[in-house]
Amino acid sequence: MYGKPHASTANRIAKRFKTDYNKGKGADVQTDRIAIEVEMAKTVSDAARQLQGHRKPVYVAGTNQEAVDKALQATERTTLARIVRIKVIWCS
């Protein structure tokens, strides 16, 4: 659906947290404590929908620096950024 950069990043993050990459609806990587949504620059706007409803801290992981920059810009001055504490990480 999203391509190799998305899957590669999601798999690396999942491995780091000793869990599996969720290819279905919802966050791409989930543990008991956090939810992480992996996005490419062109899909950053999908992150809020995918992370909606989580009661734990949520994160957006960009597949590259451009995705990170767009995620930061998209969540700037939003209620979403304050309420669900969206943070952006980048996995190279």
pLDDT per residue as tens digits for the range 19-45: 999 998 889 999 999 899 999 999 988
Report helix, strand or coil for 58. strand
Task: Count other Cβ atoms within 10 Å, centred on residue 47.
Answer: 28
Using pLDDT thresholds of 50, 70 and 90, give the confidence band for residue 8: very high
How confident is the prediction for the chain on average, in pLDDT?
81
Judge residue 51's burial from the number of C-beta atoms within 10 Å of its C-beta, 0-12 exposed, 13-18 middle, 19 or more buried: buried
Longest Cα separation, the chain: 33
Tell me the mean pLDDT in the region 65-89: 67
- 44 within 8 A of 38, measured Cβ to Cβ: no
Site of tokens 């620096």: 65
- Winning range, highest mean pLDDT, from 19-33, 34-48, 53-67, 77-91: 19-33
The pTM of the whole model exceeds 0.85:
no
Report the percentage of the chain scoring pLDDT > 70: 80
Judge residue 5's burial from the number of C-beta atoms within 10 Å of its C-beta, 0-12 exposed, 13-18 middle, 19 or more buried: middle
